[in-house]
Amino acid sequence: MKEILGGAGFGLDFDLVTGLCPRKASTKRYLSGVKSIFLHPEQAEERLKKEDPLVYEFYELEMIQDPGDLAFGTSIVHPGRVGGEYFMTKGHFHSVLATAEVYLCLRGKGMMMMESPEGDWDCQELYPGRAVYVPKRLAHRSINVGEEPLVTFFTFRAEAGHDYGTIERQGFRKLVMERGGRPEVVDNPRWKDGGGDGL
């Protein structure tokens, strides 16, 4: 029901419960591939002797990346913990740093951890119906602090790109750990200023 060939509208179906898009393969991050993001990777190693659980998955849709465009998809962080730290995404800055992102939580219970290059930080709760605005310049990471999948729908400016390297080198300044059955924001004892490479 369309007459446009170039630049047409299009739609994609997502399951509002699982967060999955039936006709697209998600990008999957198993514990073996992301063990180093946790404060206690040795605990991840222990678990990997028995199993390699899926930590999170998301969609990298092939979008137009021209100015004026947007990119969108879903992210599913599965429930679990490693050494008292909740399953979470790697987290990233945008390559074009000054670009924002909007998340709408569809299912589950989580937290969005954010921090600026200068060390300012914020942590916002995620629960169904909660929309969280990630302002430009802030690295961000989704953390599942509940017992079911944390499903969010995200939209960002298509030119934003992803800078995973900075966080891979230096980590986030704050972590969310389970303490007495509840999530608590704590300082990251392994945080490295400039990623330890003298920058």
- Using DSSP's 3-state secondary structure scheme, residue 141 falls into strand
89-128 mask for a second copy (x: CB under 8 A)? Answer: -------x-xxxxx-x-x-----x-x-x---xxxxxxx-x
d(CA 52, CA 79): 14
- Binding of a second copy at residue 180 (CB under 8 A)? no
Candidates 43, 54, 72, 79; binder of a second copy (CB under 8 A) is 72
Measured from the CB atom, the residue of 31 and 85 that comes closer to a second copy is 85
- Considering only residues 7-26, where is the footprint of a second copy by CB under 8 A? 7-16
Candidates 34, 77, 88, 132; binder of a second copy (CB under 8 A) is 132
Largest CA distance in the chain: 59
- Going from the C-alpha of 98 to that of each of 46, 93, 167, the distances in angstroms are 39, 9, 17
Could you give the angle at the alpha carbon of 92 between the alpha carbons of 27 and 180, nearest 5°?
90
- Using DSSP's 3-state secondary structure scheme, residue 15 falls into coil
Residue ranges that bind a second copy, judged by CB under 8 A: 1-4, 7-16, 64, 67-70, 72, 96, 98-102, 104, 106, 112, 114, 116, 120-126, 128-138, 140, 153, 155-158, 185
